[in-house]
Amino acid sequence: MSKLIIENVGKVFPAQRGGQPTRALTPTTLSVADNDFITILGPSGCGKSTLLRIIGGLETASEGRILLDGAPVSGPGADRGFVFQSYTLFPWLTVIENIAFGLREKGVPERERLDRARDWAGRVGLSAFVDHFPKQLSGGMQQRTAIARALANDPKILLLDEPFGALDNQTRALMQEMLLGIWEREQKTVLFVTHDIEEAIFVGSRVVVMSARPGRIKADIAVDLPHPRPYTIKTSPEFVALKERLVEEIRVEAVLAAEVH
């Protein structure tokens, strides 16, 4: 049985100031297996973040439905962890308090939630920074905290919307390795939106390519690369061949998107 079923989900945004309604997402269907790591690629404005927000319950679909473990998704819930591109930590809370925030909201006793938060801080390499505030952290450290906060809740699925998009290349590479390592150990179900083709291949077990707006899934490509995946795999012939295929898929859609605008 699929972990997540996206069934004919579409989105139309209402008209603004006398304009026409905007269809952001063509009715889309996708099945996500338990423990799958799906990366979603597509040109800007193709609806990939909109789809992720609908799954997270932050947007409502105009049509279709989403099932998580067979239950309809009708709004936000602790069963879905969400990590955004922008840093969304609470500035008045320390690292450990940020990580423990969702557990506090669920009523987990203080000792247990702090133990779990400290454990997750260690897993993302922040044991030495648990008492720091967000303003004392680099961008990469802030995103490590956000990922730990999402995973500490033990969600059924982890949703990431370009979480490394604002980071420099070196930090981004380290974060990719960290996230992939966590997935290899924890086997969480993950949906990951990115513009970066190399990133999509490196972390993903499947790459879903979306068309220019209104978005639809035009390709669903398996990433048949072994685990654990060293960073050097990016120079392998298999990786390079897959990248060439995806570059062409995205280039076609980017040209179409530019013509629409």
Phi then psi for residue 208, to 5 deg, are -100, 125
Residue type, 214: P
Which pLDDT value is given to residue 81? 93
Q: Is the pLDDT of residue 118 over 70?
A: yes
Our CA angle for 43, 44, 47, nearest 5°, is 90
Between 45 and 124, the more confident residue is 124
Q: Is the pLDDT of residue 195 over 60?
A: yes
pTM: 0.93
Q: Is the pLDDT of residue 261 over 70?
A: no
> What span, in angstroms and rounded, lies between the C-alpha atoms of 170 and 18?
46
> What span, in angstroms and rounded, lies between the C-alpha atoms of 48 and 250?
13
Which pLDDT value is given to residue 166? 84
Q: Does residue 226 sit in helix, strand or coil?
A: coil
Phi then psi for residue 99, to 5 deg, are -65, -35
Our CA angle for 220, 227, 55, nearest 5°, is 40
